[in-house]
Amino acid sequence: MIGVRTVLVIVCVMRVGLAVAQPGCPDISFTLVSDTKGRPMPGRYAKDAITRHDLGRRGVGSWSVEEHFTSNSPYESDRNGEHTWWMSAGTPLPGPGNERSQFHFIDCWCTEHYMRIQRGTESMRIDLPDASAERWALVQHVMERSGDMPSPEVVLFRPGRFTFIELMNDTIFDKLEARLSKRLKDNANAIYKKQLQELEEYYRAQPPATTAPSAPPFPPLSPPAPSSDQPGLKQVNVDRMNADTVWVRITGRALLDGGCASDMPLFEVEMRADSGWVERIPFDLVQMDCGMPWAEWDQHVVMLPPMRWWVGAHRPEENKELMAGAYRLVLIGADMKTMHTEEFLIR
């Protein structure tokens, strides 16, 4: 029976997680005060429903915060429209006595998202806007005050229903909000410095590192030797062109680049100069080991990458430009013999 309950709890937590999962995590939060002087809320804070019920039965003054939302997730459409709520435990804010707590709105695929603060018979509701753009405006307001350190808005408890935007625009607690923001930043910096110090002490206590013997160098790679057992290319021709993109018709056995599911042949680009044909992009006789090393084709047409992009991607910065002129492509067969296409013009 205990095992069944455990499984049910895990399933419920996963379902709630899917409802609230959403890209990004804008942090919108608040802390409560009891008067215009910014004093913390009086009485015991009830972190769960059982504690709230027990304190109420004993006549002990308490207050609590509930988070409510209605699911509207594209990942679990069967739960859309389902109302969910829980008690918020809050996070103690750094400062004298830790009397203040910070309450965060979760980021969720949801609508009708609000917090309800209950103090005795008095209730205050704080509504969050549904539109993402409006929520982002709230996050930007926090970032203007405290950068990447989420700091809370200070909210005066009073019964009624309010929007988070109108409470955020209340300027009476601006100075207190700035002080809380500074405390959060100082506390985060102190924790970071402590972690660095502990890390330094840990490594300082470690024995000196020993130098491992270096591994012998790998032998240099060289292209395979020509083999009479492998057939080579029989014919390569330019089939058609579009701007600087060339389609090549190939017959014979051509070496490929070895990429996964790739039928791209190894090729070089030559340009006609006054002295004859010169290499513009020389052969790089390196094959990946994911795909086939060669292909046997009969009048097979392959579209090569655009020449200007290809040259720009394979040449140094000062030699990336592909000038207008006459070019030809050189392919290599499985017998390691080359064959070139007829020349074509790039304007």
Looking at the DSSP assignment, which residues form a beta bridge with residue 92?
A: 101
Domain-embedded: residue 301: yes
Tens of pLDDT, residues 33-43: 999 999 999 88
Please indicate, yes or no, if residue 270 is contained in any of the structural domains. Answer: yes
Contact between 306 and 291 under an 8 Å Cβ cutoff? The reply is no
Of 150, 167, 185, the residue that ends a domain is: 185
Token code pair at residue 198: 């502990």
Residues 177 and 248 in one domain: no
Cα gap 240→131, rounded to integer Å: 52
Residue 194 CB-density burial (10 A; 0-12 exposed, 13-18 middle, 19+ buried): exposed
Counting Cβ atoms within 10 Å, is residue 130 exposed (0-12), middle (13-18) or buried (19+)? Answer: middle
Q: How many whole angstroms separate alpha carbon 282 and alpha carbon 264?
A: 16
Cα torsion 18, 53, 121, 113 to 10°: value is 0
Q: Are residues 180 and 34 in the same domain?
A: yes
Q: Is 208 left (phi over 0), alpha (psi -120 to 50) or beta?
A: beta
Give the whole-angstrom CA distance, residue 114 versus residue 315: 58
Structural domain includes residue 8: no
Beta bridge partners of 163: 127
Helix (H, G, I), strand (E, B) or coil at 65: strand
Instruction: Evaluate whether 264 touches 320 at the Cβ level (below 8 Å).
Output: no
Of the three residues 156, 185, 214, the one that is the final residue of a domain is 185
Asked if residue 135 belongs to a domain, the reply is yes
CB 126 within 8 A of CB 114: yes
Q: Is residue 125 part of a domain?
A: yes
Q: How far apart are CA 313 and CA 330, in angstroms?
A: 18
- Listed residues 167, 185, 203: the one ending a domain: 185
- Is there a single domain that holds both residue 159 and residue 37? yes
User: Parallel, antiparallel, or unpaired for β 44-45 and 62-71?
Assistant: parallel
327 Cβ neighbours under 8 A, 6+ residues apart: 269, 270, 271, 272, 280, 307, 343, 344, 345, 346
Is 205 within a domain?
Answer: no
Do 238 and 177 lie in one domain? The reply is no
Same domain, 54 and 175: yes
Asked if residue 198 belongs to a domain, the reply is: no
Q: Are residues 41 and 164 in the same domain?
A: yes
CA distance 64 to 43: 10
Q: Are residues 273 and 124 in the same domain?
A: no
Q: State the residue for tokens 């410095």.
A: 193
Within this chain, do residues 148 and 43 fall inside the same structural domain, yes or no? yes
Q: Can you point out the beta strands (E) in the chain?
A: 28-33, 44-45, 62-71, 83-87, 91-92, 101-105, 110-119, 122-127, 153-156, 160-163, 233-242, 245-255, 267-273, 276-281, 294-303, 325-332, 338-340, 344-346
The model's pTM is 0.52
In b/e form, how buried is each residue of 70-96, taking b as 16+ CB within 10 angstroms? Answer: bbbbeeeeebeeeebeebbebeebbee
- What is the token pair recorded at 55? 């304190």
132 and 246 in a common domain? no
Domain match, 31 and 130 both: yes
Q: 163 and 241: one domain? A: no
Whole-number pLDDT of residue 73: 87
The CATH number given to whatever domain includes residue 260 is 2.60.40
Give the chain's domain count.
Answer: 2
Could you list the residue range(s) of the whole structural domain that residue 265 is in? Answer: 233-346
Report helix, strand or coil for 173. Answer: helix
Please name every residue paired with 267 in a beta bridge, in sequence order, or none if there are none: 331
Do residue 148 and residue 241 come from a single domain?
no
Cα gap 302→204, rounded to integer Å: 60
**In this structure, what are the phi and psi dihedrals at residue 57, rounded to the nearest 5 degrees?**
-65, -35
Distance CA 195, CA 265 (A): 54
Residue 62 lies in a domain: yes
CA-to-CA distance for 255 and 265, rounded, in angstroms?
A: 6
pLDDT by 10s per residue, the chain, length 347: 444 444 343 444 444 443 443 333 448 999 999 999 999 998 899 998 899 889 988 989 899 999 999 999 888 888 899 999 999 988 898 877 557 899 999 888 899 999 999 998 999 999 999 888 888 888 888 888 888 788 899 999 999 999 999 999 888 999 999 999 999 899 889 999 999 999 999 989 988 878 778 878 877 655 555 555 788 899 999 999 888 889 999 999 998 888 887 888 988 888 888 888 888 777 677 788 788 888 999 999 999 888 888 777 777 766 667 788 889 999 999 888 889 999 998 88
